[in-house]
């Protein structure tokens, strides 16, 4: 056999010593050596290529040649395979070469080599191209990204002050009116009207606070003389306490001249007295399952300045100053999150600054009332509270008949569609009197206000008012109608043009009280 002749020639050239060593290596016993049963680890820097010297036990030269022919393709078997190991001339200083299998790289014209039958030496696949993240979506340039349109692009941005967001506004314009002071003897005038409004809302994570207020200054430019200032500010604090406890506190202040439609309007004055009203309340509420219990205390302080007479001098109004203290206890049951009926009882005391008025009557009184109603909350679309009951005030002076009447109170908000908001508010108020023998009057007030966003920069608003006044101990009554409509065109977020028309009619069966007023306002509103 040619291969064995080549081996024999090689052995004779290296000498006897090398012959014995090579013969000993080829005469290894047929059974495997124990050390060869385990995989051997070489240098960490060597490539992870299977070594045929440790994969299988070498029994003879024929076995080595058969293994090399099995693992290497025919064209590379003699180039760097076992033949190279055996046929290469060896000297004393050169160590025997270690057989290494040749790696084959597939080309475009040549298909990749098939997998080797040796389970440890898998087929060497061609180099794969760099992978791309196929999940990654292509994104256009930043300049091409369009922002989502704003819900209200003309809404006031507001300004930050600590933890509050403030939205102030200033309205300045002219008012042309047929009745400057709204009295039965009022005359036409052109007025300069300035109104400053403020709204502040907290952005606390748990509790909340709100502050609202306005101030209006009206001064005649021509026609009947008028110079008056009126305004109001309210602050509300809501606290969410532990264990289903809630607390509410409110403070308010209002300053305004006595209205010409008031039952105590003073005749023969250059201007009606200025009224100051301070009011506050504090309440606490507890939820026990579906039961709701609440207790609220209120205080209302009213003070009048002296009236200025048209003939000169002043008329004191200190005897009209009073303070009303009330306490209300409410119990409700939550039928559902949207409906909670309740009952409420009220007790209080009204104390006048002067125990006896100029007419000789002691007008301090005790108050007692009860009512029943329901709270409802259907989300942003519909909610509020309505209640009806009975209220009575009995005076310290037995000569004065007690004031007693049915009461209707409540507020309702309704948003039939987006951009449209309606509010209905009703109240019952007991009004005092100064004339001898008169106990006072009961005023029922109803206000319906609406706002409609016709376009993003065009807002419409309207008001309808109905007041009914009954005088105690007589058939006298007053009926007051009020209607108002307005439009505001917003030039941008900060400025708008406002036009507003108003009509008011006072119809009463007491002499000298009927009055009608028509007015129109045109101005500019600036806000932040």
Phi-psi category of residue 25: left, alpha or beta, with phi > 0 → left and psi -120 to 50 → alpha: alpha
Band the pLDDT of 513: cuts 50, 70, 90. Answer: confident
Mean pLDDT within 33-55: 43
Q: Are 112 and 105 in contact (CB under 8 A)?
A: no
Q: What is the pTM of this model?
A: 0.70
The Cβ-side half-sphere exposure at 375, using a 13 Å CA radius, reads 15
Distance CA 461, CA 172 (A): 18
Least confident of 58-67, 337-346, 354-363: 58-67
Q: Which residues, 6 or more positions from 387, have their beta carbon under 8 angstroms from its beta carbon?
A: 342, 344, 371, 372, 373, 374, 407, 408, 409, 410
Mean pLDDT within 27-48: 44
Q: Are 193 and 216 in contact (CB under 8 A)?
A: yes
183: which 2 tokens?
Answer: 């009295």
Mean pLDDT within 13-29: 52
Kindly report the CA angle at 306 between 302 and 309, in degrees rounded to 5?
140
Reduced to 3 states, what is the DSSP secondary structure of residue 476? coil
Least confident of 14-18, 424-428, 475-479: 14-18
Q: Are 64 and 81 in contact (CB under 8 A)?
A: no
Q: Are 126 and 103 in contact (CB under 8 A)?
A: no
CA 1 from centroid of its chain's CA atoms: 96
Reduced to 3 states, what is the DSSP secondary structure of residue 362? coil
Handedness of CA 478, 447, 247, 197 (dihedral sign): negative
pLDDT digits (tens, 9 = 90+) for 173-217: 999 999 998 888 889 999 999 999 999 999 998 899 999 999 999
Distance CA 67, CA 49 (A): 16
Distance CA 9, CA 132 (A): 58
What pLDDT was estimated at residue 377? 92
What pLDDT was estimated at residue 115? 42
Q: Are strands 245-257 and 189-202 parallel, antiparallel or unpaired?
A: unpaired
What pLDDT was estimated at residue 155? 83
pLDDT digits (tens, 9 = 90+) for 225-284: 999 999 999 999 999 998 889 999 999 999 999 888 888 877 767 778 899 999 999 999
Backbone φ and ψ for 425, nearest 5 degrees, come out as -135, 130
Work out the number of other CB atoms within 10 angstroms of the CB of residue 203: 11
- The crossing angle, in degrees rounded to 10, of helices 61-71 and 2-26 is 110
Q: Which residues, 6 or more positions from 7, have their beta carbon under 8 angstroms from its beta carbon?
A: 61, 86
Band the pLDDT of 23: cuts 50, 70, 90. Answer: low
Least confident of 118-122, 252-256, 497-501: 118-122
103: which 2 tokens?
Answer: 């790696």
Percent of the chain exceeding pLDDT 70 equals 71
382: which 2 tokens?
Answer: 């519909």
Closest CA to 356 of 414, 402, 396, 316: 396
Q: Which residues, 6 or more positions from 73, have their beta carbon under 8 angstroms from its beta carbon?
A: 104, 113
Distance CA 51, CA 73 (A): 16
pLDDT digits (tens, 9 = 90+) for 107-119: 444 444 444 444 4
Return contacts of 113-117, CB within 8 angstroms, 24+ apart.
113/73, 116/71, 117/70
Q: Which helix (H) or strand (E) holds 172?
A: strand 169-177
Band the pLDDT of 524: cuts 50, 70, 90. Answer: very high
Q: What is the 3-state secondary structure (H, E, C) of 77-116?
A: CCCCCHHHHHHCCCCCCCCCCCCCCCCCCCCCCCCCCCCC
Report the CATH number of the 159-527 domain: 2.40.160
Q: Which residues of the chain are in CATH 2.40.160 domains?
A: 159-527
Distance CA 491, CA 483 (A): 27
Q: Which helix (H) or strand (E) holds 442?
A: strand 441-455
Distance CA 221, CA 188 (A): 11
Q: Are 260 and 186 in contact (CB under 8 A)?
A: yes
What pLDDT was estimated at residue 254? 97
Reduced to 3 states, what is the DSSP secondary structure of residue 178? coil
Q: Which residues, 6 or more positions from 6, have their beta carbon under 8 angstroms from its beta carbon?
A: 86, 87
Distance CA 112, CA 20 (A): 43
The DSSP 8-state label assigned to residue 76 in this structure reads G
Backbone φ and ψ for 26, nearest 5 degrees, come out as -85, -15
For tokens 């999940």, what's the residue? 135
Indicate if the pLDDT at residue 24 is higher than 60.
no
């Amino acid at each position: 056999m040619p291969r064995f002749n080549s081996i024999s020639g090689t052995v004779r050239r290296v000498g006897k010593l090398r012959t014995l060593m090579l013969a000993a290596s080829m005469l290894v016993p047929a059974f495997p050596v124990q050390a060869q049963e385990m995989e051997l680890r070489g240098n960490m820097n060597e490539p992870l290529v299977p070594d045929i010297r440790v994969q299988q036990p070498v029994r003879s030269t024929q076995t080595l040649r058969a293994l090399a022919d099995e693992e290497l393709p025919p064209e590379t078997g003699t180039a760097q395979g076992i033949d190279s190991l055996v046929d290469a001339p060896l000297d004393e200083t050169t160590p025997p070469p270690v057989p290494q299998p040749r790696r084959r790289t597939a080309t475009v014209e040549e298909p990749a080599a098939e997998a080797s039958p040796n389970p440890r030496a898998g087929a060497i696949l061609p180099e794969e191209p760099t992978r791309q993240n196929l999940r990654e979506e292509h994104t256009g340039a930043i300049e091409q990204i369009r922002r989502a349109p704003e819900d209200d692009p003309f809404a006031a941005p507001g300004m930050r002050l600590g933890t509050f967001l403030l939205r102030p506004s200033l309205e300045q314009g002219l008012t042309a009116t047929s009745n400057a002071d709204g009295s039965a003897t009022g005359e036409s005038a052109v007025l300069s009207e300035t109104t400053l409004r403020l709204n502040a809302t907290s952005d606390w994570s748990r509790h909340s606070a709100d502050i609202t207020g306005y101030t209006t200054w009206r001064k005649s430019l021509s026609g009947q003389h008028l110079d008056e200032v009126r305004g109001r500010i309210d602050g509300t604090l809501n606290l969410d306490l532990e264990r289903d406890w809630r607390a509410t506190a409110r403070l308010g202040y209002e300053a305004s001249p006595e209205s010409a439609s008031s039952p105590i309007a003073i005749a023969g004055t250059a201007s009606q007295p200025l009224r100051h009203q301070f009011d506050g309340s504090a309440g606490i509420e507890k939820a026990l399952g579906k039961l709701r219990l609440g207790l609220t205390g209120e205080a209302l302080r009213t003070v009048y300045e002296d009236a200025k007479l048209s003939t000169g001098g002043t008329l004191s109004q200190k005897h009209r100053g009073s303070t009303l203290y009330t306490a209300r206890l409410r119990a409700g049951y939550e039928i559902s999150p949207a409906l909670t009926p309740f009952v409420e009882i009220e007790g209080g005391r009204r104390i006048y600054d002067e125990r006896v008025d100029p007419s000789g009557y002691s007008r301090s009184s005790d108050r007692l009332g009860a009512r029943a109603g329901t709270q409802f909350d259907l989300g942003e679309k519909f909610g509020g509270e309505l209640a009806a009951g009975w209220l009575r005030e009995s005076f310290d002076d037995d000569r004065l008949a007690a004031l007693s009447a049915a009461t209707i109170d409540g507020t309702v908000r309704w948003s039939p569609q987006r951009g449209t908001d309606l509010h209905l508010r009703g109240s019952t108020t007991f009004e005092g009197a100064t004339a001898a023998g008169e106990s006072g009057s009961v005023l029922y007030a109803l206000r319906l206000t609406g706002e409609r966003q016709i376009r993003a920069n065009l807002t419409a608003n309207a008001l309808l008012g109905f007041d009914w006044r009954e005088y105690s101990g007589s058939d006298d009554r007053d009926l007051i109608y009020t209607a108002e409509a307005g439009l505001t065109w917003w030039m941008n977020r900060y400025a708008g043009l406002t036009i507003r028309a108003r009509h008011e009619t006072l119809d009463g069966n007491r002499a000298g009280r009927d009055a009608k007023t028509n007015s129109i306002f045109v101005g500019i509103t600036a806000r932040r």
